[in-house]
Amino acid sequence: MVDLRGTELSPEEKDILQHPLVGGVILFSRNYHNARQLTALCQQIHDLREPHLLIAVDHEGGRVQRFRQDFTRLPPVSAIGREFHKHPALSLQRAEQTGWLMAAELRAVGVDFSFAPVLDLDYGISEVIGDRAFHRDPQAVIDMARAYIQGMKKARMSAVGKHFPGHGAVEVDSHKALPVDNRYFEDMLQTDMLPFAQLCQKELAGVMPAHIIYQQSDDMPAGFSPFWLQEVLRQRFDFQGAIISDDLSMEGAAFVGGPLERTEAALAAGCDMLLLCNNPGSVESVLDSLKIKPDPLRHARLVRLHGRHAVDRDQLLASDQWKQAVATIDGYAPDSEMELNLA
């Protein structure tokens, strides 16, 4: 899965997107001007191949929302969770409506899926996670994430949970360096891993692993670790969906080597799709050198991520369901939101 430079496809990018090893595109704020332009760009990408390339985006709300103009400003999901223990039913209703609204607005312009929801726990330690997490209590995260995913499903969008097995207990930002988590496996099994274990069989079509070393369990970052991806996620948790790496251009992935070494290691560990962003030269070099055998099972996992039955955008914005969801968000959104464009 690769990225684009601007708001339109260049001839060079069209060539790259038709390469047989490319299976999708991830969009960023630099690819967005307005809803009409985005719809045209998504259509152009989808028209290149059959079956069409997947189009994804990080569109969680709060600090991480790539498209803002012409889209509802979504609060961070912690705004849903802050009232959970006092008003659980209300929080679950808000979670479902927010998941639906996020997904419906993206599907209406042609985006297949968002990398959401965040299933990390908010320990008050990780600044890069923080209010992107629903809650610190794993059962609260499970309940709200399940409702959020139900909303996504009603909008015909699959869910991709992140960052397995849990990013919330390390201070270091894996975009900038490689974090190390020294907790024991059994302790994490009762906390951070619970949302993934509970949701990965029925609710999640995809999981994104963290660029973190969990030192007591394995000496490789989770996204490059057969232990975490195959022994734990596939075998112990019986996850049958797609495993999609976090961006291999992040500093947290540099531990493994250059772009080709990172790609080969992530594939060998068990990833089905690899994110390679913000480094155009590395994309071309990897495509020229990487050797992958066809895998029908990998293809079947990724097919589940295709969006289906998108509603017309004008019809969506005129619907009572959309108006009600926007009103719900207006009722619980915090007064101010931090801005963060995680690349």
CB 127 within 8 A of CB 179: no
Strand partners, 59: 65
Residue among 152, 57, 147, 53 nearest 102 (CA)? 152
Return the residue matching tokens 């869910």: 159
Determine the longest span between alpha carbons in the chain, in angstroms: 55
Cα–Cα distances in angstroms (integers) from residue 343 to residues 35, 66, 176, 179, 273, in the given order: 21, 10, 11, 17, 18
Active site residues: 175, 246
Phi, psi of 109 (to 5 degrees): -110, 0
Q: Which residues contact 310 (CB under 8 A, 6 or more apart)?
A: 107, 108, 110, 156
